Amino acid sequence: MNLRARIYSGFAVLMVALIVVATMVVFAQRSRLVEQLDNQLASAAPLDRRAPPPPGGGQTGPPIQSPISDLYIASIEQDNTVVVRVEGQLLETTPKFDPAMIRSASEPIITLDAVDGDTTFRALIDTQPGPAGTTVIALPMDDVDDSIRRLVLALGLLALFMAAVLGMLAAWIVRLGLRPISEMTTAAAAVAAGDRQRRVPVYDGRTEAGELSAAFNEMLDQRNEAEDRLRRFVSDASHELRTPLTSVKGYLDLYAEGGFRQPGQLDDAVGRIQSEADRMAALVENLLALARFDEEQPLQPSSFDLARLCEEVVADGSVAHPGRKIDCHVEPGLSSVYLDRDKVQQLLLGLVNNALTHAPEASVDVAGSRDGDDIVVVVADDGPGMAKEQAERVFERFYRGDPARARSTGGSGLGLSIAHSIATAHGGSIDLTTSPGAGCLFTVRLPVSTPTPERTGAG
């Protein structure tokens, strides 16, 4: 049974309970009114003894009393003759009974029908020893029946009102609570079937349904963005790997067809194959590094000298690019920082190599300082800089400001993405300040120490 059916069933059970309670109230009230009527009959019983019937029976004797009431008193003589002794002026009809039935009654108070009409009477059978015989004292039950009818009418109207209220409440709950869930279930099924643009209506944000619908749509948007990024990533990775693989396969095909048989040609071909293999290996290593950051693998922090690390990075850059001007300036007080040394070295090498590769004639400056609880490392160059559109995408994976030139220098477009992931994994940040003709300034901000050695971050 779904939630909608359970809600309607619950309201139906509640209505049944209300009807049962109302029925019990009606029966209890009727019993109470009948009890009051019986008490009136009991209090009227001595009246029949004040005017005994005439000796010898018959209809002769004192005249019938007609008080302004609805009381009825009749005597049943020895020969089963019925003598009416009291017949109230308010009576519209009289009870109908058989003397034999009255004498054989097992209860002292019984219910009798009327001679005509729908009225019923409550009758007390008063049997006296001796010639007095049996007396029937009766009162109509019109007031009791009228009271019960009014009570039933009132409770019926109340039940109808409660049914309407409960029905509207159930519809309101279903409309505001369950219908959004049903629509989201349908939308989820459609998205699972391949409809990537399917969304659910946006409800009132002040309700849980509104919050859920907004979160659901946002989740679908983020899912689409993640899928788009994954497609671009796979496409770019495939493209990057296809280029060196095509070169390697081309050299091998030429060799299989008889090429590279002259002295020195084979060595040259093997060298080129090795170069392409190294390029593929570097690309795979970068992809694995990004995958580890995406999986939020724990860092391995340790205490190390940041100034010395910066000097090593500058020295490595000078060896890879001899003749280039690379300076290093680190303020005192950074001889012991608690970070993942290998990752920080990879970050700084990526920034320095990016400057050396994409600004071939520019000088590079690496500077380190402390700012409160953070350390700040700046890698700046005085190269051509970047346009705003390029700077906004520079940390995207496989993005190149100048694809042709980057590919010719062996760049894969992953270096700055890895640097950004490393900074984020440490709980820090990396920003770029640039404009055309003004060079690039990368600012890395990292915490001096991490709360726990297991701290991780998202890529």
- pLDDT digit string (tens) for the chain, length 459 residues: 566 677 778 888 888 888 888 889 888 888 888 888 888 888 776 655 555 555 444 444 456 667 788 888 888 887 788 888 888 888 888 898 888 888 888 888 898 989 887 888 989 988 876 555 788 889 998 888 888 889 899 988 888 888 888 888 877 777 666 677 777 788 888 877 877 777 777 766 676 767 777 888 888 888 887 777 777 777 767 766 777 788 888 878 887 888 777 777 788 888 888 877 877 887 787 777 777 766 667 788 888 888 889 988 888 888 878 888 888 888 887 878 888 888 898 889 888 988 888 877 788 999 999 888 888 999 998 888 888 888 888 888 777 665 544 444 545 677 788 888 888 888 899 999 988 888 899 999 998 764 444 444 433
HSE-up of residue 88 (Cα within 13 Å, Cβ side):
15
Q: What is the pLDDT of residue 59?
A: 44
Provide Rg for the chain, Cα atoms: 51
Partners of residue 329 on adjacent β-strands: 367
Query: Rounded CA gap, 80 and 427, in Å?
Result: 111
Annotated domain spans of the chain: 1-50+141-196, 53-139, 208-292, 299-447
Which residues are CB-neighbours of 446 under 8 A, at least 6 positions away?
337, 339, 344, 374, 375, 377, 423, 426, 427, 428
Query: Rounded CA gap, 456 and 296, in Å?
Result: 6
Query: How far from chain centre, in Å, is Cα 336?
Result: 48
Place of tokens 């340790």: 302
Query: Rounded CA gap, 221 and 199, in Å?
Result: 9
SS3 state at 238: helix
Tokens describing residue 406 = 């980057």
Q: What does the H/E/C string look like for 109-165? A: EEEEEECCCCCEEEEEEEECCHHHCEEEEEEECHHHHHHHHHHHHHHHHHHHHHHHH
Sheet order of strands, 374-381 included: 326-330, 364-371, 374-381, 440-447, 429-434
Tokens describing residue 118 = 């729908």
CATH hierarchy code of domain 299-447? 3.30.565.10
Q: What is the pLDDT of residue 445?
A: 92
Per-residue b or e along 222-252, where b marks 16 or more CB atoms closer than 10 Å to that residue's CB: eeeeeeeeeeebeebbeebbeebeebbeebe
HSE-up of residue 65 (Cα within 13 Å, Cβ side):
16
Closest alpha carbon to 372 in 333, 339, 344: 333
Strands 364-371 vs 326-330: parallel, antiparallel or unpaired: parallel
Query: Rounded CA gap, 272 and 282, in Å?
Result: 15
Residue 98 dihedral angles phi and psi, to the nearest 5°? -110, 130
User: Is 208-292 in CATH node 3.30.365.10?
Assistant: no
Query: Rounded CA gap, 236 and 442, in Å?
Result: 25
Residue 454 dihedral angles phi and psi, to the nearest 5°? -95, 10
Query: How far from chain centre, in Å, is Cα 237?
Result: 38
Query: Rounded CA gap, 111 and 38, in Å?
Result: 11
Q: What does the H/E/C string look like for 270-290? A: HHHHHHHHHHHHHHHHHHHHH
Query: Is this structure's pTM higher than 0.85?
Result: no
- Maximum Cα–Cα distance for the chain, whole Å? 163
